[in-house]
Amino acid sequence: MSELTSPDDSPTEKNIEISKIYSFIELQDKELSVRSQEIESNGKEMQLYYELAKQNDRSDVEDRKDERVNNQNTLTKVLIFLAFSIVLAIGSLDYALYLGKDEIVTEIIKAIIYIGPSVFGGYFAGLNQGKKQNSDKSDD
């Protein structure tokens, strides 16, 4: 007998070990095929997520476009209303002057002078406070 083999090794034991090695290799092959299928399915899943993200981005862009158009329309309507209100107020004052009611016009102008700064000051103070709170929330 050679030195590499022991006297205990019989041909059937060697066959059993070889069959175990073959079965181990077969298991490894099956595991590799399962893993490759798993990687392929993960790739398909990632592709689907990518397509969904692209679709969401497109819909966000469309929503933003509609939002800008809506904001522009709202601003236009507010400016038209303010212009109409100013023309109406000036027309009313002009009509009062035409009727000779100078004291009424004077009192209305005094009221505007006293009340106007308070209204605008309060409005802009609230506006700045809102911006400050929004910036504080975005910092968090």
Nearest 5 degrees, angle CA 74-CA 116-CA 127? 50
117 in a domain, yes or no?
A: no
pLDDT value for 87: 95
CA distance 98 to 105: 11
For the chain, 140 residues long, give each residue's pLDDT as a single digit of tens: 344 445 555 667 777 788 888 888 999 989 999 999 999 988 899 999 999 999 998 888 887 878 888 888 999 999 999 999 999 999 999 999 999 988 988 998 898 899 988 888 888 888 888 888 877 776 65
123 in a domain, yes or no?
A: no
DSSP type of residue 7? T
CA distance 36 to 104: 90
15 in a domain, yes or no?
A: yes
Overall number of domains in the chain? 1
Q: Domain range holding 41?
A: 10-82
Q: Which segments of 12-90 are extended strands (E)?
A: none
**Residue carrying the six token digits 């469309």:** 62
